[in-house]
Amino acid sequence: MATIGEALKYPFANFKRVFNYWWILIPIWGWFVVSGYGIRIINTLVNGNTKELPAIRPFTGLFRTGFFAVVTWLTIAIITGLFTLIPVLGWIVYAFIIFIAPLLMFQFAEQGRIRDGFNVLRASKTMFSSFGRYLVAYVKTIVVGIVFLLASILIITLIVTLPAISFSQYFFFAEYYKQYGKTTVTKKK
């Protein structure tokens, strides 16, 4: 099982790649490229490379992948938000979808299809296949985020810790997904 220390070191193993996050400052193109890079990070981690962030170049395909990832995530966010309009039951559904959101993202990353990002049934089965381990992955991800947040108290370190938070959030969920959620279906291009 991956440790918190490994997750904290992961974004910094190839230090210059931490700055790939800042492509996000280029309007529209950067937003989609960085989202596509997030998908590349997920796939790299799930496939076993937990040593360092992958290269962002070549940019080939990152914009397209990022575009569809953003469309998927925004649609999930809007639908999930609409559930909050339903008293009690809607909030329960909202909380559940937020809880399985990392698995929905990993399913999208694995297959590259929007419909896999909406497959709540598969994500639920994956989560409940080893709920305790999923909960541990969730808690470890929160702990890593808090550590980086505390390291960001000095504003200057925010330049490094903000990308580190973004990139390291995939670390524990990748290990869980590799073991419990990854399918043997090959990705269609």
HSE (side-chain half, CA atoms, 13 Å) at 48 = 0
pTM for this predicted structure: 0.87
Mean pLDDT (the chain, rounded)? 91
Q: What are the pLDDT digits (tens) for 18-27?
A: 999 999 999 9
Q: What are the pLDDT digits (tens) for 155-181?
A: 667 788 888 888 888 999 999 999 998
The rounded percent of the chain whose pLDDT value lies above 90 is 78
Q: What are the pLDDT digits (tens) for 82-132?
A: 999 999 999 999 999 999 999 999 999 999 999 999 999 999 999 999 999
The rounded percent of the chain whose pLDDT value lies above 70 is 95
The CA-based dihedral angle spanning residues 74, 112, 13, 172, taken in that order and rounded to the nearest 10 degrees: 70
Give me the pLDDT at residue 189, please.
Answer: 45
Region of 39 please: left (phi>0), alpha (psi -120 to 50) or beta.
alpha
The whole-angstrom separation of Cα 63 and Cα 83 is: 30
